[in-house]
Amino acid sequence: MDDLINMQGQGHVRLGSSAGQALTRRDGRLKVTGAATYAADNRPDGLLHAVLATAGIAKGRVAHLDVAAAEAHSGVVKVYTPGNAPKLAISPDEKIHPFVWRMETLTDDRVRYAGQPIALVLAETLEAATEGARLLAPRYGAEPHRVTLDDAEPFDTDTTAFGRPAAHSSGDVDSAREGAALHVQTTVETAPQYHNALEPHAITARWDGARLEIDTPNQAIGLSKQTFAAFLGIDPSQILLRSPFIGGGFGSKAILYGGQLLAVLAARDLDRPVKLVLRRDQMYGPVGHRAPTRQSLRVDLDETGTIAALEHDTVTLTSTFDQFLEAASNASHSLYAAPNLRTAHHGRRADVGTPGPMRAPGEAPGSAALEIAMDAAAQAAGMDPLEFRLKNYAESDPSTGLVFSSKALRECYAEAAKRFGWSGRPDAPRSLREGRLLKGWGMGTAQFPCPMFQATAHATLRADGTAVIETSAADMGQGAWTALAQIAADGLGIDLDKVEFRSGHSDLPDAGVAGGSGHTATAGTALFNAGADAVRQLAELATTDPASPLFGAGNAGVTARAGRLWRNDDERSESYEDILARAGLELVRGEGKGAREGEPERAMFAHGAVFAEVLVDPDLGQVRVSRLIGAFAAGRIINPRLARSQLVGGMIWGIGMALQEEAVHDPRTGRLTNADLAGYHVPVNADVPMIEAMTVHEDDPYVNALGIKGVGEIGVTGTVGAIGNAVWHATGVQPKRFPIHPESLI
Ligand code: MOS
């Protein structure tokens, strides 16, 4: 493996700094030995097992449930249906913050999509609850359904995901198009995808009088505590939400869903702890998905191959009762220098569960379509795809006019192209072979914004020179606990092995949302600031104490390193222990915040370039990715090992999106035909070639004080288009749809 690790130019690695070191995961041993506890591993005394019954039709109403049969089954304690389910304190449609979807809590007998919860069975054992749910044998009054983009109901909307504007226009696209020499029009569709975390959505809920303890995997611990409190009508201080580890989230665990609230309501109603774990098939519907898109792009060029106008239009689906629109067109806002730019989104409603954020929401399908369009444009201009992108990538964000806070994209293109050997690429499709297989080379540009959420943290320096740092973050496999601890150690100016990291539950300061690839930047900033605040207090003690060698140096005249404060003006230093001992203090405690203040004055993005090689069987249309190389500029890399893992993981996700991942509806029943890991294909080892993810040095002083960007999602972007373009180059067939089906190539 080691020879595949090719991380370059790690900025900011300095003596005594934890950040920048390729440490292994602090929780790795716990996880591989099974010692890490996930929500469903909790077994409080008196536990009841809950199993959801879910709808087998896509639209209509539940006409009959055989509750008597279920309740008569040995071990079954209670059956909740819309007739007797405990009620929420507020409307299930209340939007108390942008991460709230309708709480589907058995509010009525309507069926709005296949897989919707229609009853909850509580029993002494999982087996009894499962059998009880089966015995309900629902009968339905079915109504005609619509589940695809083609038959869904159009509606007008001003907003896409998280309330962002649905449309944007700058310049004059129509006039520019009229004056342009070359015109390219492409259409790309992307399939619905479902988050397939290894750990299903699960919850264990236990009431102790008015106090509620919840174990549930969650990407937004603080926010979710607020959400539970609001819908239950209790004070947030009464709730302890634990989420130390998440077995894969990908966005679906940033949102709370009705099932989790139902389990809590049942526990309160029955005065016993309740555990609910969704079955694999139940994760295809009630807990979000990535909606399908149909994207039309028009690129207009002058005779030199310079983009004159760019238009990106997306049609996508949401449910009949809630709204989340995949903001795919936004991918065109900021990557290529289009002086005239128009983007739009059109919503359609279908009888499906509400979509939600899924790794690189918007950007993943949007970038896939945009990169295909860019290759089409390059062909029209008679240019090499890389040459075309180098000519047309934006130096400032065309949608806002803001200058990029940093733009190391040219270096990404150069590094990845060199490593790949792109310069020898023949322009003509079907000109490379490997034995009887067609070989193709393609590329795509990667880009992802750098949002920050709101986080708080505490850092406590103790008399023995050790420290405790606290923030509520979960570790969902990405290595948050490791990277955040590295940043915290630097903030405190001590070695990482002296730091005790407390995290994973809601009684700690809120680490914000682990989403949008903004977690390390947000929570890391809070932790760093908390450490700096503690050090500031130490410096104040020492520099004002005549007995200290630091006396008179002033707060700004000392530097923290290796558990000591050092004078900047001579060699003298004093240990944290000595400063605290002389002051007679057990500890000092610092507090820190992480957030972006005010309106950004720069456009903040991470960038990258991905190059793919594919081999295509000319007779069977089977595609294999044989090489995948990406170079990314993602700001300061806190931990090269973990960053590489995230980037490679994103690129593998891109392989799945390009060639495999697809939820297929049966048009007759409105149900998914492949709601399991056998039928819903994701890449396995045999599908994954040698992958290289490099990072290029990027020092971005604007994105945040620590220069941190995200690495969790950007690997998906660029990759899908790169693979699609490689298939196009191999076969001469332009991809119109992802995943690419073999039959479309023969
Ligand atoms: Mo992600 S879709 O930002 O959890």
Taking only the tens place, the pLDDT of each residue in 561-596 is 999 999 999 999 999 999 999 999 999 999 999 999
Q: How far is CA 316 from CA 67, 112, 229, 670, in A?
A: 38, 18, 33, 17
Of the candidates 429, 444, 400, the residue with the CA atom closest to the CA atom of residue 603: 400
pLDDT 10s digits, 647-689: 999 999 999 999 999 999 999 999 999 999 999 999 999 999 9
Query: Strand pairing of 211-215 and 239-242?
Result: parallel
* Cβ atoms of 80 and 262 closer than 8 Å: yes
Strands (DSSP E) contained in 24-144 are: 48-54, 60-64, 76-80, 110-111, 117-123, 139-142
Give every residue of the chain whose pLDDT is below 50, as ranges: 1-14
* Cβ atoms of 710 and 448 closer than 8 Å: yes
* Cβ atoms of 510 and 456 closer than 8 Å: yes
Distance 250 CA to ligand 1 centre (A): 5
Of the candidates 595, 649, 653, 639, the residue with the CA atom closest to the CA atom of residue 479: 639
Q: What is the pLDDT of residue 12?
A: 37
Q: What is the pLDDT of residue 456?
A: 98
C-beta of 358 in contact with ligand 1 (< 6 A):
yes
Q: Can 713 be counted among the known catalytic residues? A: yes
Strand (E) or helix (H) holding 651: helix 640-659
Residues near 327 by Cβ (< 8 Å), separated by ≥ 6?
160, 161, 164, 314, 345, 361, 362, 366
C-beta of 361 in contact with ligand 1 (< 6 A):
yes
Q: Which stretches within 234-299 are classed as H helix? A: 258-270
Distance 51 CA to ligand 1 centre (A): 27
Q: What is the pLDDT of residue 11?
A: 35
For residues 500 and 466, give the distance between their C-alpha atoms in angstroms, rounded to a whole number: 8
Q: What is the pLDDT of residue 355?
A: 98
Q: What is the pLDDT of residue 572?
A: 97
**Helical packing angle, 640-659 and 719-731, nearest 10°:** 50
Q: What is the pLDDT of residue 614?
A: 98
Q: Which two tokens stand for residue 726?
A: 């490689």
C-beta of 560 in contact with ligand 1 (< 6 A):
no
Q: What is the pLDDT of residue 425?
A: 97
For residues 610 and 653, give the distance between their C-alpha atoms in angstroms, rounded to a whole number: 13
Q: Which two tokens stand for residue 551?
A: 């006396």
> Which amino acid is present at 701?
P
Choosing from 470, 586, 713, 743, the catalytic residue is 713
Q: What is the pLDDT of residue 481?
A: 96
DSSP track, 594-636: E---SS-SSB-EEEEEEEEEEEE-TTT--EEEEEEEEEEE-BS
> Which amino acid is present at 261?
L
* Cβ atoms of 700 and 707 closer than 8 Å: yes
At 488 the three-state DSSP class reads helix
State which of 218, 224, 250 you would mutate to test the pocket of ligand 1, scoring each by most atoms of that ligand within 8 A of its C-beta: 250
C-beta of 649 in contact with ligand 1 (< 6 A):
no
C-beta of 366 in contact with ligand 1 (< 6 A):
no
3: how many CB neighbours lie within 10 A of its CB?
A: 6
For residues 280 and 679, give the distance between their C-alpha atoms in angstroms, rounded to a whole number: 12
Q: What is the pLDDT of residue 10?
A: 34
Of the candidates 611, 579, 745, the residue with the CA atom closest to the CA atom of residue 689: 611
568: how many CB neighbours lie within 10 A of its CB?
A: 10
Q: Whose CA is nearest to atom 4 of ligand 1?
A: 251
For residues 32 and 29, give the distance between their C-alpha atoms in angstroms, rounded to a whole number: 5
For residues 394 and 355, give the distance between their C-alpha atoms in angstroms, rounded to a whole number: 31
For residues 639 and 10, give the distance between their C-alpha atoms in angstroms, rounded to a whole number: 9
